[in-house]
Amino acid sequence: MEPQPPSPSIGIAADHGGFALKQALVVKLRTAGFTVTDYGDAQCLAGDDYPDFVIPLARAVAAGEVVRGVALCGSGVGACVAANKVPGVRACLIHDHFSAHQGVEDDDLNVITLGGLVVGPALAWELVQTFLAARFSGAERHRRRLEKIAGLEQLP
């Protein structure tokens, strides 16, 4: 019997606005065979702040500790802003299937953000599956554009 390859490691994080959706997605991801690292919050606390959970997730993605990340807050906007402050992270708020795969294929998206108060669990799961199944095309024009963006991360 040949050894099985390790399951892809996915990171997830949410504040109170995305907590319920995070809990549902963790179950779906694990059932689908993914290894999931939960960066918090560990409980639904109305006074928590999304950067406290999204930034550690984003740093883990940038460091390669997890393959991709799922970041959640009430709207998904704050989580997106916070994640994109970490060099090496390319996060986007996604609400449609086309963007979920095209963002990876063309822009090498590595963090999807979703609004726990905006999308329901069924749509969120479909979007996450689409995001995780997509692969970067590696086309020269896309690599060129990503190099320009990475150059911005080097500015003082």
pTM (predicted TM-score): 0.94
Domain architecture of the chain: domains with CATH: 9-152 (3.40.1400.10)
Which two structure tokens, joined as six digits, stand for 80? 């997106």
From the candidates 44, 73, 80, 92, give the one annotated as an active-site residue: 73
The predicted pLDDT at position 1 comes to 55
Could you tell me which of 131, 70, 121, 71 has the C-alpha nearest to residue 99? 131
Is 92 assigned a catalytic role? no
Q: Which residue has the higher pLDDT, 8 or 40?
A: 40
- At 5, the pLDDT band (50, 70, 90 cuts) reads low
Residue 46 has pLDDT above 80, yes or no: yes
- At 8, the pLDDT band (50, 70, 90 cuts) reads confident
What CA–CA distances, in Å, run from 148 to 19, 20, 112, 143, 151?
Answer: 35, 37, 21, 9, 5
